[in-house]
Homo-oligomer: A and B are copies of this chain.
Amino acid sequence: VKQDRVVRVALLGFGTIGSSVYRLIQKEHDQILEGTGVDLRVAKVLEIDMSKVPTDAEPSVFITDFSEVLSDPTIEIVVELIGGTTTSFDFVDAAMRNGKDVVTANKQLLASRGQALFSLARDEQRHLRFEASVAGAVPIIKVMRESMVAAELHTVYGIVNGTTNYILSRMYNEEGDYPEILAKAQELGYAEADPTADVGGADAAAKMAILASIAFHSRVTLTDVAFSGIQGITLEDVRYAKGLGFVPKLIGAARLLDGKVSVRVFPALLPADHPLASINGSNNAIFLQGDAIGEIMLMGPGAGGVPTATAVVSDIVSIVSTNEVGFLQSCSCYRQLELYPSEDVESAFFIRVSVADRAGVLALIASAFGEHEVSIASMIQKGRGDEAELVLITHPTKERQFFAAVEKAKSLECCQSEPMTLRVL
């Protein structure tokens, strides 16, 4: 006989995601109950900005004092949707110490202060789930943790930031320049007023830290991730790339190399027939590679209140459905691997540089690269008045050697601009 299980949750924060979770739980209450036996109820919503509280809201539900959540023993699960890394940390910490399981969508919190929170979760035997922190509605955390137990993942890479993907897709498709497309993205709500965290790569870096920690069972924090963003990419770069059959994307890549962990975020050029090249707009897509599975890919909306809310709700139901064995599985950083030095990673590169338009220049540049054992796969040279533009694609090479070669090339008198470099996948 089916026994319904009442589960009372508290939402901390009633912004885009918080209000979406609230409404989704109301709308899907019966469906969730029928499908899972979980009778899900929002018992409290903590929101200090009264202008956000719906006018038809039950006054006893909307509160401004977090202690009301802690002191209510009927609340099992606290959903942290405040953002930031200070108040949110204190609330998550206090919730677990008060016997409550936690769901959060806060990637910055996990990537910067996750270690302390996961240790506490383990000590207190509390669940700490965070599906919504990476790739919105795409259930990448559950898949990695529960479906890949025998897969021996060695690589996780893909597109984990919707804002930059939107901007790069439009730059590519419409041949628009970066500042203009960024302004449009902000106007349409695809980029924030201060877009630094997205366009600079820090948002993707936090997500990759989380994904790498799960994939390799070794805690990776934001400071372990080498990241760069898309701000330096010009329409010129995009056009050259397109002409060579490449599409620009911001890529997050986590790899096990010689038993060490390499986690990086960088703008890269992908061959136009690469499956990630066709991921347009604000979608996210992540490849998992492992000895036993070959390659699996998950794709879907990386942001948006309602899609992200589905991930929060699935975390709540997962907590309620999991026993103590499953609990152990969710604290699975059981080792601490060293970091692989970024400059030893092998990559192919695209370089664009202005050079003096005269005979012998190519030979000079080529020998600068040759000296550092960087071999060139293809080259385009275009005259533009008394200077020329040189575009090179290298074969894969240790990044240390490549950047040494670039330094050498820069020191040449014929080199007339700061070289633009992009990795090539």
Instruction: Give me the interface of A with B, judged by CB distance under 8 Å.
Output: 2-3, 5, 24-25, 28, 31-32, 34-38, 131, 137-139, 142-143, 146-152, 217, 273, 275, 278, 292-301, 304, 306-307, 309-311, 313-314, 317-318, 320-326, 328-329, 332, 334-335
Contact = CB atoms under 8 A, between A and B. Distances in A.
B24 A314 contact: no
A286 to B, nearest CB: 11
A375 B5 CA distance: 53
A36 B149 contact: yes
Nearest to A291: B306
Nearest to A298: B298
Contacts of A293: 137, 300-301, 306-307, 310
Given A137-B293, A217-B34, A297-B298, A328 B2 contact: yes
A35 B146 CA distance: 10
Contacts of A148: 310, 314
Contacts of A275: 278, 299
Contact of A32 (B5, B149, B298, B317): B149
Contacts of A142: 142-143, 146-147
A413 B296 CA distance: 52
A314 to B, nearest CB: 5
Contacts of A311: 147
Contacts of A146: 139, 142, 314, 317-318, 321
A140 B172 CA distance: 33
A332 B278 CA distance: 35
Q: Which of A137, A150, A324 has the most CB of B within 10 A?
A: A150
Given A293-B310, A300-B296, A301-B295, A32 B278 contact: no
A249 to B, nearest CB: 16
Q: Which of A37, A292, A317 has the most CB of B within 10 A?
A: A292
A319 to B, nearest CB: 10
A395 to B, nearest CB: 26
A313 B150 contact: yes
A223 to B, nearest CB: 25
B292 A306 contact: yes
A90 B36 CA distance: 29
A320 B326 CA distance: 8
A40 to B, nearest CB: 9
A292 B31 CA distance: 13
Given A295-B301, A297-B299, A321-B325, 7 more contacts: A137-B151, A139-B296, A146-B314, A146-B318, A293-B310, A294-B307, A321-B329
Contacts of A217: 34-35
Contacts of A310: 147-151, 292-293
B295 A36 contact: no
Contact of A294 (B151, B301, B325): B301
Nearest to A295: B300
Contacts of A34: 217, 332, 334-335
